[in-house]
Structure 1
Amino acid sequence: MSTPRVPPTRAYLEHVAIRVRDIHWHIRFFREVLGMELREIDGPPEAPRQYWTLGGLQFVATPDFAAPPSHDAGWLAHLGVMVDDLEAALQAAQAWGVQPLPPGRNWLQLPDGLAVELIQAAPGSVAQALAVRPRG
């Protein structure tokens, strides 16, 4: 048995970039349903090319993008999103016309085909994670 190699550094995923047809819909949904506020924007607010949220999402405006319409197709299976209040998030999401998915009522399919799994976080853990300011 070999000795475990000590890695030269440690890392974590700071964000994931997602191509979306309607960037404004995604900005509004993630802000109004899940409270993910603006961290950075590329381009003018009325026509952003890219939009980053506090919480690790980057939306890339791609108006002609067509994702497979299934939660288990394509290279990005789903996003797992920790929430302070799962019931409140699910109730808020209903008004957005998102579709439920077979794994459970906390799985939602967005209009561009992206699947989101909402997960109840331990008390205080979302605030703790959002308090991290990786870029200053």
Structure 2
Amino acid sequence: MTGKAYVEHVAIWVRDIQWHIRFFKEVLGMDMREVQGSVEQPKQYWTLGGMQFMSSPDFGDNEGRLGHIGIMCEDMEAALAAAQAFGVSAMPQGANWIRLPDGLALELIQAAPGSVAQALAVQPRQ
């Protein structure tokens, strides 16, 4: 085992990014963590709570498209090395991006020391 990890964010392509920003803020209280572009015209928008919206106004379907899953790792380099045995492929975004054989894209992120254990210790249903 290469250490523990947790899902830090889920990135989805959306047609109407402002609608998603409003919904997740007003319904679920997920405030902005960061934005790429301006708040008025974001290209990407991250919420506290793990959502990332990526603007795709020309998307014609009626369901969100998963862009990737961001995973915080205790030891990112060990996880990347171990992943090679599973037939993953590199992605152009960088060395920490891998595509699984079924097409799922993962962004592995090196976590600060102790932060993965701290996040996994949260018991939200108690």
TM-score, with structure 2 as normaliser: 0.50
Match in the other structure for 2:91: 101
Match in the other structure for 1:112: 102
Q: Which has more strand, going by share of residues? A: 2
| Cα displacement (A) at 1:105 | 1.3
Q: Residue 129 of structure 1: SS of its match in structure 2?
A: helix
Aligned residue identity for 1:106: N
| Aligned partner (choices 50, 58, 77) of residue 87 of structure 1 | 77
| Cα displacement (A) at 1:92 | 0.7
Which ranges of structure 2 fall in alignment gaps of 5 or more residues?
1-25, 31-47, 51-63
Aligned residue identity for 1:93: A
Where relative contact order (Cα < 8 A, 6+ residues apart) is larger, the structure is 2
TM-score, with structure 1 as normaliser: 0.47
Displaced runs of 4 or more, over 2 A: 7-14
Q: Residue 80 of structure 1: SS of its match in structure 2?
A: strand
| Cα displacement (A) at 1:133 | 1.0
Evaluate the alpha carbon distance shift between residue 112 and residue 9 of structure 1 in structure 2; reply closer, same or farther with a 3 A threshold: closer
Structure 2 CA distance for aligned equivalents of residues 95 and 8 of structure 1: 42
Identity %: 62
| Cα displacement (A) at 1:10 | 3.9
Structure 2 CA distance for aligned equivalents of residues 113 and 95 of structure 1: 16
Cα RMSD over matched residues?
A: 2.8
| Structure 1 residue 135 corresponds to structure 2 residue 125 | yes
| Cα displacement (A) at 1:111 | 1.6
Aligned residues: 73
